[in-house]
């Protein structure tokens, strides 16, 4: 074996041995390993927290709309139902900025059911009206779920009130 080849091998083996024993740069290597995991956890917590906030805003809007319609003289009126949808979406019957981006009036469903109460099973008249407001739409994700290859969740909320009529406040 030529002498120069032996020197190179010896130099490389000493360099590898010194590199393995050295503690310089270990913090950088450890950070490089931990950082992706940490950022994934932080991003997931932020995305999930924002989802819960939007879900709560939608639930509040649907509940407000059902209560408003339950207190109107005629919950079947198209005008009252439009006001209820505006109330659900914006917090005001006159409209305004949406509580949740991506939530539209087409996503809100209003159903008025009647219950026969001629046997006086429940207190009230012979016919009881129930107002049900519900919604279901795909939550506009912050984009973090897309990075992980996950589909954005669907927000589905429903609220039912007994129509008592005539005393709806002006929101």
pLDDT digits (tens, 9 = 90+) for 145-168: 777 788 888 999 999 999 887 766
User: Higher model confidence: residue 8 or residue 115?
Assistant: 115
Strand partners for 131? 112, 161
Q: Are 65 and 109 in contact (CB under 8 A)?
A: no
pLDDT digits (tens, 9 = 90+) for 39-79: 888 988 988 999 999 999 999 999 999 999 999 999 999 99
114: Cβ–Cβ under 8 A, 6 or more apart, which residues?
Answer: 127, 128, 129, 130
For residue 5, what pLDDT is reported? Answer: 65
Q: pTM, whole model, 2 decimals?
A: 0.75
């Amino acid at each position: 074996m030529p002498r120069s080849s032996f020197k190179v091998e010896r130099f490389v083996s000493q360099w590898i041995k010194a590199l393995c024993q050295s503690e310089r740069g270990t913090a950088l290597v450890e950070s490089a390993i931990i950082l992706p995991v940490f950022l994934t956890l932080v991003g997931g917590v932020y995305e999930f927290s924002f989802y819960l906030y939007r879900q709560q805003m939608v639930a509040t809007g649907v509940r407000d709309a059902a209560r408003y319609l339950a207190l109107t003289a005629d919950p079947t009126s198209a005008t009252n139902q439009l006001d209820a949808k505006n109330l659900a979406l914006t917090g005001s019957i006159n409209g305004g900025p949406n509580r949740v981006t991506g939530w539209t009036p087409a996503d809100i469903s209003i159903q008025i059911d009647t219950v026969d109460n001629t046997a006086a099973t429940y207190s009230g008249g012979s016919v009881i009206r129930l107002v049900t407001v519900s919604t279901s739409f795909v939550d506009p994700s912050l984009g973090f779920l897309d990075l992980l290859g996950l589909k954005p969740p669907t927000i589905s909320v429903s609220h039912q009130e007994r129509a008592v009529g005539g005393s709806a406040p002006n929101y």
